[in-house]
Amino acid sequence: MPETPNPTADALLHRALQHVEDWEQTWGAFDRHPSLGVDPARLDDVFDEYLGRLEGNYPFHHPRYAGQMLKPPHPVALAAYAAAQRINPNNHALDGGPPTSQMEKEVVADLAAMLGLPDTSLGHLTGGGTVANLEALWVARELHPDKRLAVAETAHYTHGRMSDVLNTEVVPVSADARGRMDLHSLDRTLEQHDIGTVVLTAGTTGLGAVDPIDEAIPLCKAHGVRVHVDAAYGGFFRLLALDEAPDIEGFPAERFRAIEEADSVAIDPHKHGLQPYGCGCILFRDPAVGRFYQHDSPYTYFTSDDLHLGEISLECSRAGAAAGALWCTLKALPLTPNDGLGPILAACVRAARTWTDAVKASDTLAVVAPPETDIVTYRPTTDEPTLSALHDASQTLFDTAMNDPDDPIFTSVYRLSADALTSLHPSLTADRDEAAVLRSVLMKPEHETHAASLVDRLADTARSLAPPPGSVRDRDGAA
């Protein structure tokens, strides 16, 4: 990869805000109303307190933060967002923000193309993955009001919650120990129940697993059943499934490729698209579903007969800045496998392989399930091979590592069922229904270079917490 400079947020922010300020001036000077003033001393105090309180965050920007799906936006997104935010367009209607509405249409088309959906697909940005999935499930219900929804037990909890909101009945589908929908269970469900839509996940929240989308879609089609793919987390990894993408061991490219056959897809630019929160996206293969959104608004849609995004979304006000930031980011870092966003995602996927290899090489940690994307699960080996011992050891390692005053490492904890754990690790005895393991989301490309040393530190911490040498440790291993 050629060396290109990393842009700094400072320089871009300055340029962006200055430009907008100059543009504002072109409309004529006027005095701000005195009621908007703030006492300088009070403002100073407020900002001191505010900035101080922000230090209560975990260091999401740093490689040592390898916990949840969290990282700061790219500086390009930050500056582009700030520029538009200063104007504060609302992408509900073209009247609220013509340029950012147009940008939204362009980025939605780019996302559809990356996912392999036809260019006639209908879509828009949303506040996040929850609303994107809600819209997909709502359209599913409108199309088949009397049918049920089939959802894997490892899908994000939002599907259960939103089905409650929509009063849609859910039929749960079993998953295998690695968190992927079980095809036999899906087949049985399709035989036994009147299913309208099946929800598949491309990148589960827990294990980063990818449902067998390539096999499930033909099965669903054979039953005349629609498919919604929740690619909120994993959608951008489809770049690595394109022809020119590098091969990465254990990466399920064929499953990502099959997303192109889905009826609807949710994808979150605020996860792997380098955006600040408030940027999800829903796409529908059949633009005719736009009819379900039809509504009359006496307040809006005046300036043009062109499509106003509010006419095809459930949310009303939405930040035009979110569209502007994504547009700028995708122009600077395009959706291509070997340039732009592709190498960032590839580094994350490779980081997960490096992390897993380092865990395998350690004497105090074991892999729980091999990674498919960039989420890794691992556990401390224990003196006693029981789920209780594992649960306590995981919790202690998690707490100790993040509270180390000199060199903290932030991971997260994930609870797996006794069935999944004993299937992955037969030497473990199930003395409880579920147990915690450690989980790391390696969604920063810098994790690739830091993975091995972070695991070494965690292994050292696990050793310091372990019983004295000579005792028998559970070394069952790595899957």
Binding site for ligand PLP (CB under 6 A): 69, 128-130, 133, 156, 158, 201, 205, 230, 232-233, 268, 280
Report the SS3 class of residue 50: helix
**Dihedral over alpha carbons 412, 415, 420, 423 (to 10 degrees):** 70
What is the residue-wise DSSP string for 248-314? -TT--HHHHHGGGG-SEEEE-HHHHS-PPSS-EEEEES-GGGGGGG----SSS--S-SSPPGGGG-S
* Residue 68 vs 400, nearer CB to ligand PLP: 68
Min dist CB 271 to ligand PLP, Å, is 7
| CA separation for the pair 479, 475 (Å, rounded) | 11
- Name, in order, each residue with C-beta under 8 angstroms of 198's C-beta and a sequence gap of 6 or more: 149, 150, 151, 173, 186, 190, 216, 220, 225, 226, 227, 228
Min dist CB 377 to ligand PLP, Å, is 15
* Residue 301 vs 410, nearer CB to ligand PLP: 410
Min dist CB 132 to ligand PLP, Å, is 8
Closest to 409 (Cα-Cα) out of 58, 96, 99, 25: 58
* Residue 12 vs 438, nearer CB to ligand PLP: 438
Residue 132: phi and psi, rounded to 5, are -60, -45
Min dist CB 439 to ligand PLP, Å, is 12
* Residue 130 vs 313, nearer CB to ligand PLP: 130
Which CA distances in Å does 258 have to 23, 231, 236, 351, 382?
Answer: 46, 12, 14, 25, 40
Handedness of CA 31, 36, 42, 48 (dihedral sign): negative
**Dihedral over alpha carbons 275, 279, 283, 288 (to 10 degrees):** -140
Min dist CB 158 to ligand PLP, Å, is 5
| CA separation for the pair 372, 251 (Å, rounded) | 5
Min dist CB 458 to ligand PLP, Å, is 23
* Residue 135 vs 268, nearer CB to ligand PLP: 268
| CA separation for the pair 198, 178 (Å, rounded) | 19
* Residue 252 vs 385, nearer CB to ligand PLP: 252
- The DSSP 8-state label assigned to residue 113 in this structure reads H
* Residue 133 vs 356, nearer CB to ligand PLP: 133
Type of residue found at 154? T
* Residue 104 vs 135, nearer CB to ligand PLP: 135
Min dist CB 266 to ligand PLP, Å, is 7
Rg (CA), the chain: 24
Contact 262, 217 (CB under 8 A): yes
* Residue 272 vs 425, nearer CB to ligand PLP: 272
Min dist CB 334 to ligand PLP, Å, is 23
Min dist CB 385 to ligand PLP, Å, is 31
Min dist CB 443 to ligand PLP, Å, is 11
Give the number of other CB atoms < 10 A from CB of residue 340: 17
* Residue 67 vs 280, nearer CB to ligand PLP: 280
| CA separation for the pair 336, 334 (Å, rounded) | 6
Ramachandran region of residue 246, left (φ > 0), alpha (ψ -120 to 50) or beta?
A: beta
What is the residue-wise DSSP string for 388-400? HHHHHHHHHHHHH
- The DSSP 8-state label assigned to residue 236 in this structure reads G
Min dist CB 65 to ligand PLP, Å, is 16
* Residue 151 vs 225, nearer CB to ligand PLP: 151
* Residue 150 vs 389, nearer CB to ligand PLP: 150
Min dist CB 276 to ligand PLP, Å, is 12
**Dihedral over alpha carbons 306, 308, 312, 316 (to 10 degrees):** -170
